[in-house]
Chain A
Amino acid sequence: MNNFDVTRRSAMKLLAAGAGVLAAPSIIRPAFAQSKVVNITTYDKFVPQSFIDQFQKDTGIEVRIRLTDDQGKQYNLLTAEGAAPSTDIVTVTGHRLSQFMKSNLLSTLDTARLKNWGKLAAAYKGAPQLTVDGKTFGVPLLAGFEGLVRNTEYAKASDSWAIMFDDENKNLTSYIVSDFLSIVMRYQGNDGDYVTYGDKPDVAQAATNQARDFLIQHKDKVRKYYDAGSELQQMFVNEDIYLAQAWSGPAAKLIMDGHPIEISVPKEGTFGFLYSFNIVNNAPNADAAYTFLDAILSSPEIGAAMTRQSGFSSAFDGVDKVLDEKERAALSLPPEQVDRIQFFSSVNRDMKNEMIDKATAEIKSA
C-alpha cells in the first residue's frame, strides 16, 4: 500500500475504464434492437440449425435464439421486461395464450404480411387456440399431447393410467407433477382442465385435493419428478424408469432414435396442446420477425426438420410426405386413441394455475 501512488494519468485511465464498464449496458442494450437481428425465445430443438443458417445467408438477418423450458419462466421474464422487451418472438402454447394476452405481452399477427400463411395445414389455419375476437395471435408450429410412455422391454402394456400406480412399478415411474395432476383428475372422473369449474371453486378444490392426495399416497412409485423432456429421455435411456407421463415430442424422439419405447393414450384420455410462434408487443425488430415467420412457413421440409428434432407433429401442410416411414410411425396413433385427446382450453386458467401450483408444491413437499 505504501507504494501506491495515484497520479493524474492513472486516475484518468481508471476513471475511463470505470465509465466504460458502467456505460456497457446502454451500449449493449440497443444491440437487441438492430434491424438485422431477430431475437427468439423458444424450446430446445424447435428451430433447425440448417434453417437458421440458410435464413441468415438469404436475408442477412441474424437469428438469436434464447432457450426456455417452461411457459411460466417465459411469461415471467417477458412480464419483467414490460414495455421494453428484448425478444421479438416467443413460443406460447395455445392454452397459455390468454395469460400472455391479459398482461398485454403479445401483438396481433398481421397474416397479410405472411405470404406463406396458406401453407399451414387446413386444421391449423385460424386455430381456435390462437384466435381471440377474430384476431390471430400466433403462427401454429407444432402439436403434441401428454401420453403414457413405457419401455417395451420391461413394462407391460396397459390401456389405463392405473399402471402408473401399480405396485409392480414401485420406484420406476416419472412425471411432471403439474401436468399429471390434470390427468389424474381426469382419471378420477373429474375435470382436469377446470373448464366446468368457473363458478364452482369449492368443487374444483375438492377435485384437486382428491388428485393431490392420490399422488401423495402413490409417491413410492415415483423415481423422479422431472421438468424438461431431455431429463425424461435421459431417464429412459439409463433405464432408471420404465413408465412415465410425458409430452409426445420427447417420447417420439426416443422412438425415432430406435429406443424400445412406446407412447399411447390410455382409455381415460389425455390433453393436447399447440405451440405457436408469437410476436411480442413492442418487439424491437418486428419487421425481421415477420420475415422470419414467413420463411419458416415456406416449405414442408422445414416443418419436417422441426418434427424430426422435437418429436412433435408439424402444423405445416405436406410434412407427412417428407417424413420417412419410421418417423411417421413414431408420430402416429390409432384413431381411437386420437379421439381421446382433448386440447387444453384457455378458459378458467387463473383458477387452474392457482390450484395446480399449490397442489404441486404440496405433493413435492409431502
Chain B
Amino acid sequence: MLDTTTQPPSVGLSTVPRYAGWIGKAARSGLYRHTIGLLVESRRVRLAVLAGVPLFWIAMLHIGPILQMANISLLANYPPQPDKSSEYTLANYALFFSDRLYFLPFVRSLIFAAVVTISTLVIVYPVAYYVAKIVQPKNRMRALLLLLIPFWAGELIRTFSVIMLLANRGALNVLLREFGFIDRPIPMLYTFFSLSFGVIYLLALYMLLPLYSAIEKIPTPLIQAAADLGAGPFQRFRRVILPLSKDGIVSGCSLVYLTAVGVFAAPLLLGGPNSVIFPEVIATLFHGSNDKWPEGAAFSMIMLVVSLTTVGLFMRVVGGRSVRLM
C-alpha cells in the first residue's frame, strides 16, 4: 500500500517549471495542461491510468480471445459468408453431446492427460527431491541448470528428438540391434507409448520447478527428527515429506494436466492411428475441407470448462482450503 503521508507535496502543475528544455516547454503549454496534465496531476488518476494499460492488455489479449471464441461457438456460421446466415444457436454444443464420434476422443484426452500427469509426478518427484535435498546446496543451481538445458530448445525440436530416438531407424532401435538384442526394429513410434513418452518429456519442467521449490523449503532437521524418532524411509516420506510438498504437487499437477489436455503438436507428430485425442478433432474442425469454426469453438469451450473444473476440484480436494485456482 502506498503511504500518502510520507509523500512529498503535490507534484502537479505548480512544479512544472523545474523541468528544463523542450520537456519544460511542453509541460508548460496549454495543450499539455488541459490534456495529459489533467491525467497525471493526481496520484489516484495516475495509478488508474497506469493500471488501465495492463488491464486493457489482459482484457484484449487474454480474456478477449476466449470471449470471442465463446461468441463464435454460439454462431450458426463463421467466418461470415455472403450466402450464409449467422444467427445465434446452441446446436454446436448439442452436436458434442449427440454424437459419440466427438465424445470418445474427449474422454480419451481427459484420461490421457490424467495418466500423463500421474506418470510425470512419479518420474519427476524423485529427481526434484534429489536436487533439492541430496545435492549439496552449492551445487543445486548447477544441477537444476543441467536439468533445464533441454528445455532451452523449442517444443517442436524436442518432439522431433523423440522421433529420432524412437523411430525404427532411431537411436534406441539401432542400439538394441547393435548389441544383438533384436533382429527387427521394435515399432515404438506412433503408439500411445511414444505419445506419452514425448508429452511427459515436454511437460516435465512444469512439474519439476514447483516440486523443487516446495521440497527445497522443507526443513531438513524435520526429516532428521522423524528419523531420530524411529520413522523409516517410507514413513518419513508419507508422514513428513509428502504432506509438506503438497503445494508443489498441486501446482505441478495442475500445470501438467492443463497443458496435457490441450496438447496438439506432439500427438500429431508422435501419435498413431489409435491415439487421436480431442485437440486434433478440434483442429480438424478449424482446418478441414469445410468451414466449421463454430463447432470447433464450441468444442474448445467445452474442453476449457471441463479441464478448469477438473483442476479446480483437484486443487480443492488435494490442495485444501488454502489453495486457490488463480
Please tell me which one of the listed residues A15, A22, A222 contacts residue B273 in the complex, with CB atoms under 8 A apart.
Answer: A222
The secondary-structure label for the interface of chain A is helix
Please tell me which one of the listed residues A238, A350, A365 contacts residue B170 in the complex, with CB atoms under 8 A apart.
Answer: A238
- Alpha-carbon gap, A313 to B214, bound state (A): 60
A14: which B residues are within 8 A, CB to CB? 50, 53
User: Provided the pairs A11-B46, A80-B79, A238-B169 are in contact, do residues A75 and B2 lie with their beta carbons within 8 angstroms?
Assistant: no
B181 shortest CB reach to chain A, Å: 18
**Does B189 interact with chain A (Cβ within 8 Å)?**
yes
B3: which A residues are within 8 A, CB to CB? 2
Instruction: Pick the most buried of A8, A15, A357: most chain B CB atoms within 10 A of its CB.
Output: A8
User: Provided the pairs A11-B40, A72-B289, A354-B290 are in contact, do residues A6 and B47 lie with their beta carbons within 8 angstroms?
Assistant: yes
Closest to B19 in A: A9
B272 shortest CB reach to chain A, Å: 6
Closest to B47 in A: A6
Pick the interface stretch among B238-246, B251-259, B280-288.
B280-288
B82: which A residues are within 8 A, CB to CB? 103-104
A6: which B residues are within 8 A, CB to CB? 43, 46-47, 50
Closest to B54 in A: A18
Q: How many residues of B contact A (CB 8 A)?
A: 54
**Does B276 interact with chain A (Cβ within 8 Å)?**
yes
B280 shortest CB reach to chain A, Å: 7
**Are B276 and A364 in contact, CB atoms less than 8 angstroms apart?**
yes
A22: which B residues are within 8 A, CB to CB? 53, 56
**Are A223 and B289 in contact, CB atoms less than 8 angstroms apart?**
no
User: Provided the pairs A8-B40, A365-B281 are in contact, do residues A239 and B46 lie with their beta carbons within 8 angstroms?
Assistant: no
**Are A364 and B168 in contact, CB atoms less than 8 angstroms apart?**
no
A12: which B residues are within 8 A, CB to CB? 36, 40
Closest to A177 in B: B273
User: Provided the pairs A223-B187, A239-B185, A364-B273 are in contact, do residues A7 and B2 lie with their beta carbons within 8 angstroms?
Assistant: no
B57: which A residues are within 8 A, CB to CB? 21
Q: How many residues of A contact B (CB 8 A)?
A: 52
**Are B187 and A361 in contact, CB atoms less than 8 angstroms apart?**
no
B93-118 to A contact mask, C-beta < 8 Å, 1/0: 00000000110110000000000000
**Does A56 interact with chain B (Cβ within 8 Å)?**
no
A82 shortest CB reach to chain B, Å: 7
**Does B202 interact with chain A (Cβ within 8 Å)?**
no
Tell me the number of A-to-B contacts counted with CB atoms below 8 Å: 126
**Does A262 interact with chain B (Cβ within 8 Å)?**
no
A102: which B residues are within 8 A, CB to CB? 83
**Are A70 and B287 in contact, CB atoms less than 8 angstroms apart?**
yes
**Are A72 and B169 in contact, CB atoms less than 8 angstroms apart?**
no
Closest to B270 in A: A224
User: Provided the pairs A11-B40, A14-B50, A365-B101 are in contact, do residues A224 and B281 lie with their beta carbons within 8 angstroms?
Assistant: no
A237: which B residues are within 8 A, CB to CB? 169
- Alpha-carbon gap, A357 to B288, bound state (A): 7
- Alpha-carbon gap, A20 to B53, bound state (A): 11
Chain A stretch 339-364: residues in CB contact (< 8 A) with chain B = 350, 352-354, 356-358, 360-362, 364
- Alpha-carbon gap, A70 to B280, bound state (A): 15
**Are A234 and B79 in contact, CB atoms less than 8 angstroms apart?**
no
- Alpha-carbon gap, A8 to B50, bound state (A): 11
* CB<8 Å pairs between A and B, sample of 27: A2-B2, A5-B7, A7-B11, A8-B12, A12-B40, A15-B36, A18-B53, A22-B56, A72-B287, A79-B79, A79-B291, A103-B81, A103-B82, A224-B272, A225-B276, A238-B163, A238-B168, A238-B189, A239-B185, A240-B189, A350-B290, A353-B288, A360-B288, A361-B101, A361-B281, A364-B280, A364-B281
10 further A-B contacts with Cβ under 8 Å, apart from A222-B272, A361-B101, are A8-B12, A76-B293, A224-B190, A238-B169, A239-B169, A239-B185, A357-B288, A361-B102, A361-B281, A364-B273
Interface residues of A (CB under 8 A from B): 1-2, 4-8, 11-12, 14-15, 18, 21-22, 70-73, 75-76, 79-80, 82, 102-104, 171, 178, 219, 222-225, 227, 231, 234, 237-240, 350, 352-354, 356-358, 360-362, 364-365
